[in-house]
Amino acid sequence: MSVCVSLDVWSKSLHPVLSTVLKRLGLGLITLFVVSAIIFSSISLLPGDFGEAVLGQAATEDTVAAFRKELGLDKPAVTRYFEWVGSVLRGDLGTSFSGRAASGVNRARSVVELVKPRLQNTLFLAGVTAIIAVPLALILGLAAALYRNSYFDRTVNVTTLTTIAMPEFFVAYILILFFSSLLPWFPSLANVSAETPFWERLYKISLPAITLTLVIMAHMMRMTRAAIINLLASDYIEMARLKGASRREVILKHALPNAWAPIATVIAFNLAFLVVGVVVVEVVFVYPGIGQLMVDAVTSRDIPVVQACALIFAGTYILLNLLADVIGIVSNPRLLHPR
């Protein structure tokens, strides 16, 4: 009883912003735990025997049974799940099933060793895309709001709606057709390695980066435009107009500072989509990222790698969504200046 009272007093003594942020972080951890259970159970329910898939159909029943016992696949699912969660909390994502042979020779690599370079490639592609897409989306969104209902605004709206309506793989194939086949400006395959020089790496990921830029820029630009236009209907904006402020001054000096919160939230959501949505683009361009690794692991029934990749995607998405929530909370004047 006294512990509950002390916790309640401690919670009330915190600043409203800090208290709300801590609650969001706790909710994020609970969400990640639930997602990890869904990932594990979904992979466990896949049809077929993982031992036979790894060793091949020529393996005997005794060999498959011994292999399953070595990997711990003979244990109950609940036991394997908590063992996996405990290993993840210690920073151990397990050992890849690939490289194991029926002869007993173990050439398997740790999942961290496999995931680390692929994750770096994915983050490099996502970072280059974000550096290009975010400024362009903000500039075009502001321009569309500034020149609302003009030919520029209508052209941008039609273009972004068209881009949003098309799936990523279709945009990728269109770019390959025009800029790799008809006009051989860029390579159609993004084959990079750790030894690839920086500028050559940028050149090889041009088409994947352009594909992702077109997709997320369309979302961010439309949301930026909508946020600015929504603020333009506010009373203080009308007062600024009555004082003789030009349209440019109204948007840049009055609307934009108050629109940073929803814009930052939109950027965080789209960055989350960017990191998670690279799977399709990586597969199309055969880019050695974590998305391509996950697809290959699913094909070869490499359970630890699939679980690790799915958990990384889920954790990244949850983290960036939490960042969007925190930005919205921190920018809330009611919480920043409580009465």
Cα–Cα distance, 293 to 120 (Å, whole number): 12
Q: What is the CATH code of the structural domain delimited by 112-299? A: 1.10.3720.10
For 290, the enclosing helix (H) or strand (E) is helix 290-299
What would the two tokens of residue 218 be?
Answer: 């369309």
**Residue type, position 11, single letter:** S
CA quadruple 117, 123, 128, 131: dihedral sign? negative
Q: What is the pLDDT of residues 17-31, one digit of tens each?
A: 677 677 777 887 888
Other Cβ atoms less than 10 A from the Cβ of 281: the count is: 27
Give φ, ψ of 190 to 5 degrees: -95, 70
Q: What is the pLDDT of residues 63-108, one digit of tens each?
A: 767 767 766 667 777 777 887 788 778 877 777 776 554 444 455 6
**Which pLDDT belongs to residue 32?**
81
**Which pLDDT belongs to residue 10?**
46
**Which pLDDT belongs to residue 178?**
86
Secondary structure (DSSP) of 140-196 = HHHHHHHTTTSHHHHHHHHHHHHHHHS-HHHHHHHHHIIIIIISTTS-SS----TTS
Cα–Cα distance, 94 to 304 (Å, whole number): 6
CA angle in degrees (0–180, nearest 5) for 225-228-229: 85
Asked if 261 and 254 touch (Cβ cutoff 8 Å), the reply is no
Cα–Cα distance, 241 to 160 (Å, whole number): 30
Cα–Cα distance, 306 to 41 (Å, whole number): 12
Could you say which DSSP state residue 250 is in?
A: I
All CATH 1.10.3720.10 domain ranges of the chain, comma separated, are 112-299
Asked if 322 and 28 touch (Cβ cutoff 8 Å), the reply is yes
Q: How confident is the chain (339 residues) per 10-residue block, as mean pLDDT?
A: 46 60 78 82 70 65 71 73 80 70 56 82 85 85 79 82 79 84 81 79 85 83 78 72 72 69 75 76 83 80 81 82 73 55
**Which pLDDT belongs to residue 229?**
76
**Residue type, position 104, single letter:** G
